[in-house]
Amino acid sequence: MRKLNNLLKKISILLMPQRCPFCCRVIEQDQNTCKRCEKDIPVHAVLQGVKGSYKCSSAFLYSGKFKRAVINFKFNHKKQYSPQLAFFLSECIRQNYPDMVFDCITYVPMHDIAEKRRGYNQCELLAKDLSKLMNLPCHQMLIKTKATKPQHSLNAKLRSTNLNGAFKVSDKKLVKGKSILLIDDIVTTGSTLGECAKTLQKAKPSQICCATVLASANLY
Ligand SMILES: [Zn+2]
């Protein structure tokens, strides 16, 4: 049985080798990026404020190869990048929240219809891979009850109102008194994370910190 499993693993590596999420070069199975892109990984992660109340740590700025990797992950079915992007997410969390103790991880939910259309929620994949790396439980704490327009299709003014009342807490007991790490893929104006955090806040967590792979602007 073990021989068969090893053989199947080798075949899957041959068919779908590990690739650098930033340039698509084939890399070793246990690597997160190629040697060339490794040199471009920023030394300092981004730390910003969301809606004046919450901190948000991001691994990369929204540009070049980092932007391309997340766009491919999110829109082009490159789900296999999730563990690698989650690794960089964990690094930026370690850097920006060195003394913070988290009880659990949650993520920005998608509306059922949007998730069925895409086939997956990229934030859920990231949060689950991050939970393995950080050895923390990952819970779905929020449900998206309103089918809203995609945030990236709206201007800043509409983004801030588009999501009003779009989320609800799925189980208040999971949230109450907990120190929560809230995960999104990209922070732009902070409207999505702000609305999710505001909704979670109603169930009285002890604290909420946000983390994303990409940050597109300085929100302070
Ligand atoms: Zn690369």
What CATH number corresponds to the domain at position 99?
3.40.50.2020
Is the pLDDT score of 219 beyond 60? no
> Do 66 and 157 fall into the same domain?
yes
CA of 204 to the centre of ligand 1 (A): 42
CA of 3 to the centre of ligand 1 (A): 32
CA distances to 95, 158, 173, 188 from 139, rounded to whole Å, are: 23, 29, 11, 24
Backbone angles phi, psi at 196, to 5 degrees: -65, -45
> Do 9 and 117 fall into the same domain?
no
pLDDT of residue 145: 93
pLDDT of residue 162: 83
CA of 38 to the centre of ligand 1 (A): 7
- Percent pLDDT > 90 in the chain is 75
CA of 35 to the centre of ligand 1 (A): 7
pLDDT of residue 181: 98
Cα 36 from Cα 60, distance rounded (Å)? 16
Cα 115 from Cα 123, distance rounded (Å)? 11
Q: Is residue 92 part of a domain?
A: yes
Q: Is residue 55 part of a domain?
A: yes
CA of 32 to the centre of ligand 1 (A): 9
DSSP string, the chain: -HHHHHHHHHHHHHHS--B-TTT--B--TT-SS-HHHHTTS-SS-EEEEETTTEEEEEEEESSHHHHHHHHHHHHS--GGGHHHHHHHHHHHHHHH-TT---SEEEE----HHHHHHHSS-HHHHHHHHHHHHHT--B---EEE-S-PPPGGGS-HHHHHHHTTT-EEES-HHHHTT-EEEEEEEEESSSHHHHHHHHHHHTT--SEEEEEEEEE-S---
CA of 88 to the centre of ligand 1 (A): 14
> Do 80 and 51 fall into the same domain?
yes
> Do 57 and 143 fall into the same domain?
yes
- Looking at the structure of the chain, the number of domains it has is 2
pLDDT of residue 165: 87
pLDDT in tens, 99-142: 999 999 999 999 999 999 999 999 999 999 999 999 999 999 99
pLDDT of residue 217: 66
> Do 9 and 108 fall into the same domain?
no
> Do 125 and 187 fall into the same domain?
yes
Is the pLDDT score of 161 beyond 70? yes
> Do 9 and 82 fall into the same domain?
no
The one-letter amino acid at 142:
L
Strand partners, 212: 58, 184
> Do 71 and 161 fall into the same domain?
yes
CA of 159 to the centre of ligand 1 (A): 33
Query: In this structure, which residues have their CB less than 5 angstroms from ion ligand 1?
Result: 20, 22-23, 34, 37
What average pLDDT does the segment 33-37 reach?
A: 97
pLDDT of residue 119: 95
Tally of CB atoms within 10 A around 66: 23
> Do 90 and 186 fall into the same domain?
yes
Q: Is residue 111 part of a domain?
A: yes
Q: Is residue 30 part of a domain?
A: yes
CA of 95 to the centre of ligand 1 (A): 22
> Do 77 and 174 fall into the same domain?
yes
Could you tell me the pTM of the whole model?
A: 0.91
What residues make up the domain containing 34? 1-38
Using CA atoms in the order 36, 216, 191, 127, what is the torsion angle rounded to 10 degrees?
0
Q: Is residue 220 part of a domain?
A: no
> Do 26 and 133 fall into the same domain?
no
Q: To the nearest whole number, what is the mean pLDDT of the chain?
A: 92
> Do 10 and 74 fall into the same domain?
no
Half-sphere exposure of 105 (CA within 13 A, CB side): 25
pLDDT of residue 6: 82
CA of 19 to the centre of ligand 1 (A): 8
Q: What is the DSSP secondary structure assignment for residue 186, as one 8-state letter?
A: E
CA of 4 to the centre of ligand 1 (A): 32
Q: Is residue 192 part of a domain?
A: yes
